[in-house]
Amino acid sequence: MATDFFDDIIKNFETKGEEYGNQDRNTLKLFKFKKKTLNVKSFKTPNIVNQIAYRFFRKSKAQRSFEYAKKLKKLKIVTPQPIAYYEYTTPFFFKKSYYISEHLNYDLTYRELNNDLNYPNHEAILRAFTRFTFNMHENDVHFLDHSPGNTLILLREGSYKFYLVDLNRMNFGPLDFQTRIKNFARLTTHKSMVEIMSDEYAKCLGVEYDKVFNLMWEETKNFQNKFHRKQKLKKKLKFWKSYK
């Protein structure tokens, strides 16, 4: 039975499966099931404060990922097919959680567009991605982790299909203009890409290009400044820890 298979891969997650992708924060593994490949994400055990919060007050990242995936699909915003989520708890603490979805064999992510400005059909893909983001916003979806690695792109005979992943941080409700434009801030440092996205989003929204570009570029620079300040602070903390 499928349930027995899922129980087994979660129970033996450390020793079974094929490691996949970036393993820095959480662990991803692939498992074969019948003719499908499953993608299982193991979220790291939260700190002690969040162990209490997730046990009694908040939904786990795995549960949110599963529920948000279901909600996105109802809105016809695609994401790899959600299958299940698992949680391990004690009477007073939350420990581990896992999110299981179908694995998607994609062609690229937004990151490739960042890394290669000469990627074939670069501008067409970027404009299609912007229309996809506009459609999210029109459906009252605020994807808080809208960053280069979290949109998988399939190329199909001149058309492009976008799949959202890493779903545990989302808000749902009407987005004002500033929130919409700020949602692009984490995507790129390239001014040329911001110009294209601003142009396409302005057309979608029916507003002047300058209104969109000025805010999108400002928010992009603000995000980069905060990011680099954080990185410098982390380096200083590491230095003082090693010095002690």
Do the strands 159-164 and 82-89 form a parallel or antiparallel pair, or are they unpaired? Answer: unpaired
How confident is the model over 23-50, as a mean pLDDT? 89
**Please, what are the domains in the chain?**
2-102 (3.30.200), 108-228 (1.10.510)
Rounded to whole angstroms, the Cα distance separating 190 from 114 reads 8
Rounded to whole angstroms, the Cα distance separating 151 from 166 reads 9
Q: Please state, as a whole number, how many other Cβ atoms lie within 10 Å of the Cβ of residue 103.
A: 17
The conformation of residue 35, written as its DSSP 8-state character, comes to T
User: Six-digit token pair at 81?
Assistant: 């097919």
Q: 70-73: long-range contacts at Cβ-Cβ below 8 A with a sequence spacing of 24 or more?
A: 71/172, 72/141, 72/164, 72/167
Q: Which amino acid is at 49?
A: V
Do 177 and 139 contact (CB within 8 A), yes or no?
A: no
Residue 239 has pLDDT above 60, yes or no: no
Residue 17 is predicted with a pLDDT of 86
How confident is the model over 20-45, as a mean pLDDT? 87
Residue 235 has pLDDT above 80, yes or no: no
How confident is the model over 116-120, as a mean pLDDT? 95
- Strand, coil or helix: what is 18? strand
Rounded to whole angstroms, the Cα distance separating 201 from 195 reads 10
Residue whose tokens read 């009694």: 56
Q: Which amino acid is at 117?
A: L
Residue 134 has pLDDT above 80, yes or no: yes
Distance between start and end Cα atoms, the chain = 54
- Length of the chain in terms of residues written: 244
Residue 77 is predicted with a pLDDT of 96
The sign of the CA dihedral 225, 230, 235, 240 is positive
42 to each of 31, 80, 185, 210, how far by Cα in Å? Answer: 13, 16, 28, 43
Residue 231 is predicted with a pLDDT of 64
Do 190 and 114 contact (CB within 8 A), yes or no?
A: yes
How confident is the model over 92-115, as a mean pLDDT? 94
Residue 25 is predicted with a pLDDT of 76
